Amino acid sequence: MADVVKEIQVSQSIKPGSGGFSRVYQISLAFDDLKDLRANLGIDQTKLGQLFSDHFIPRLMAETFKQLKKGEDSAGESGAMAGNKKITKAARDLGAKKGGPEEEGADAVMMEEDKAIKERSSSKREDNTARAGLDEDDVLSDAEQEMMNEINDEMDGNTKFSKDVRGYDEDGSKDDESDLAKPKDEDKDEVDKYTKPLREAHAKYLQYLKGIEIDKKKNIFKVNIAFPLEFKKVLMLTLAEQTMNHVIVRQVPGIQKCTLIKPKKESDEPFLMVQGLNFNAFYHHSDSLDLNRLETNHSYALRAKYGVEAMRANIVKEVQMVFGVYGIAVDKRHLSLIGDFMTFNGDYRAFNRIGMEESSSPFLKMSYETTMKYLVSASQANEKDDMSAPSSAVVMGQIPHVGTGMFDIL
């Protein structure tokens, strides 16, 4: 998804609600022009909406919960939750006041939050055992403890059904605590098209989602996520960028990445460098690709598609390329022998000690690698060597039965 998003914005604010003050993150994704997306990827705004609601938001929530869980674990070990509990008390007290503007209450919460953070930092330096000195105001109430237990269960991976989540019932209606931001009347049907599958498939996240907004003209999708103030702050921009890299917009099976390599000279031709392998995907584009010039370093996959002779030729070519990088020239006839050895039985045979295990000569196997292994194995199995292999003859100091060693001169 990161390749089709031209801009990402994340804003943070503190807003009041029926259950107290919450920290609200607004994540805004501005996608590329729809004309370019249709022409290059064949996707429209409906597809973008599905990706945003069905894939991006749930994955972002899962990553956020992981960070919250890590923060809670580290805070529990260091005793830093005391400062957060003070923030909770300040938010509860300010939320209970009557007659004051909501904006002033939010500003006061932010001031109390900064103050509590400073007190928490200084208390760490003065006394690392501050956990033992908590007063009654620093202790979570029963309602707050229940909320913390609820989020702990979800961060531990426990699945909740939609009927068990606050703010959601079987008819898809929400209560005030988790009410999605009401869209404009003309966009209501468009938003519901994306929020309904989100409610059904990822109901456990619904209580933290405060609204989905869509700007069809500018091709911008927004989501508001709210957490209680006692929850640890998270780097939402970083999490959103990481999440976009894991959401797939369109993919060809077996192909991870495709890059167009432009020619450096006018006489050269451009070509595609592909990470992955799928021959059938190229066959559908025979009008723009030269299928007679397909190359791959996956020799065994080439055998399955074009036969063993194609695999043999490809092995010789790949070995030549390896030596060519270092400026080493090897006679092609030597490389042809290697290719013949690896493919003469109609299949792939590894050119290492594993491939040599098929040999009937114990001395041949011992002369290559793991001498003691093959010596013990040959002794236990009472194997014999007829000394017909050149390596066996060399090991025993005899003349190999090849070339001039095949006859005697009288």
The CA distances from residue 273 to 105, 277, 311, in Å, are 58, 11, 20
In angstroms, the CA 230 to CA 82 distance is: 10
Residue 265 has pLDDT above 80, yes or no: yes
Report whether pLDDT(80) > 50: no
pLDDT at 96: 45
| Res. 102: pLDDT tops 60 | no
pLDDT number for residue 106: 46
Last residue of a domain, one of 244, 260, 277: 244
Q: Pick the residue with more confidence: 125 or 201?
A: 201
**Is residue 372 situated within a structural domain?**
no
Task: Provide, rounded to the nearest whole percent, the portion of the chain with pLDDT above 70.
Answer: 68
Last residue of a domain, one of 265, 294, 323: 294
Over residues 16-73, the pLDDT tens digits come to 877 788 899 999 999 988 888 888 888 888 888 888 888 888 889 889 988 888 866 6
Predicted TM-score of the model (pTM) = 0.49
Q: What are phi and psi of 120, to 5 degrees?
A: -65, -40
User: Higher-confidence residue: 74 or 55?
Assistant: 55
Q: How far apart are the first and last CA of the chain?
A: 81
Query: Does a structural domain hold residue 106?
Result: yes
287: exposed, middle or buried (Cβ count in 10 Å: 0-12, 13-18, 19+): exposed
Where does the pLDDT of residue 75 fall: very low under 50, low under 70, confident under 90, or very high at 90 and above?
A: low
Q: Which residue in 394, 386, 303 sits closest to 349, CA to CA? A: 303
Same domain for 290 and 234? Answer: no
In a domain, 115, yes or no: yes
Say yes or no: 199 and 233 in one domain.
Answer: yes
pLDDT recorded at residue 195: 57
Residue 387 lies in a domain: no
What's 404's DSSP letter?
G
Based on the fold, state whether residues 200 and 65 are members of the same structural domain.
yes
Assess whether 21 and 132 both reside in one domain: yes
Whether the per-residue pLDDT at 107 is higher than 90: the answer is: no
Q: In this structure, what token pair is assigned to residue 4?
A: 């089709």
275 lies in the same domain as 234: no
Give the residue numbers spanning the domain of 258.
252-294
On whether both 159 and 266 belong to a single domain, the answer is no
Q: Rounded CA gap, 59 and 313, in Å?
A: 46
Flag whether 142 is in a domain: yes
pLDDT surpasses 60 at 158:
no
22 in Cβ contact with 228 (< 8 Å) = yes
Q: What is the pLDDT of residue 125?
A: 46
58 sits in which H/E element = helix 57-78
Q: Do residues 29 and 142 both lie within one domain? A: yes
Angle between helical axes of 332-343 and 308-325 (0-180°, round to 10): 140
Q: Among 92-101, 226-235, 382-391, whose mean pLDDT is lowest?
A: 92-101
Section 354-368 average pLDDT: 84
Average the pLDDT over 159-186 and give the result. 41
Domain boundary pick from 218, 244, 270: 244
Alpha carbons 237 and 29: distance in angstroms, whole number: 11
Residue-level pLDDT at 73: 63
Would 81 be classed as within a structural domain?
yes
pLDDT tens-digit series, residues 323-336: 999 999 899 899 99
Mean pLDDT, the chain, integer: 75
Under the banding of pLDDT at 50, 70 and 90, the label for residue 179 is: very low
Strand 220-228 and strand 271-276: pairing? Answer: unpaired
Percent of the chain with pLDDT over 90: 19
- CA-to-CA distance for 215 and 223, rounded, in angstroms? 12
pLDDT, mean of residues 7-20:
86
Is residue 217 over pLDDT 80?
Answer: yes
Nearest to 16 by CA among 101, 95, 111: 95
pLDDT at residue 172 tops 50: no
Residue with the bigger pLDDT between 381 and 355: it is: 381
Give the confidence band of 163 by pLDDT, cuts at 50, 70, 90: very low
Residue 320 covered by a domain: no
**Distance from C-alpha of 399 to C-alpha of 404, rounded to nearest angstrom:** 9
Q: What is the largest CA-CA distance in the chain?
A: 123
Band of residue 352 on the pLDDT scale cut at 50, 70, 90: confident
Are 217 and 284 contained in the same domain? no
- Residue 49's pLDDT is 85
Task: Please check the confidence at residue 342 and state whether its pLDDT lies above 50.
Answer: yes
Q: Are residues 148 and 131 in the same domain?
A: yes
Residue 364 domain-assigned (yes or no): no
Kindly state whether residues 21 and 165 are assigned to the same domain.
yes
Half-sphere exposure of 256 (CA within 13 A, CB side): 4
Question: Does residue 117 carry a pLDDT above 90?
Answer: no
Q: Is 331 exposed, middle or buried (0-12, 13-18, 19+ CB in 10 A)?
A: exposed
9, 152: one domain: yes
Mean pLDDT of 106-121: 51
| Same domain for 236 and 147 | yes
Please count the structural domains in the chain: 2
Instruction: Quote the pLDDT of residue 323.
Output: 92
Q: Lowest mean pLDDT of 93-97, 224-228, 255-259, name the range.
A: 93-97
More confident residue, 382 or 92: 382
pLDDT at residue 149 greater than cutoff 60: no
Q: How far apart are CA 273 and CA 259, in angstroms?
A: 5
Given this model, what pLDDT does residue 168 score?
36
Query: Which residues are 23's β-sheet partners?
Result: 14, 227
Relative orientation angle of helices 57-78 and 142-155, to the nearest 10 degrees = 120
**Residue 139: its pLDDT value, please?**
46
Q: Give the CATH number of the domain where residue 130 resides.
A: 3.30.70.2850
Instruction: Inform me whether the pLDDT recorded for 10 exceeds 90.
Output: yes
More confident residue, 138 or 11: 11
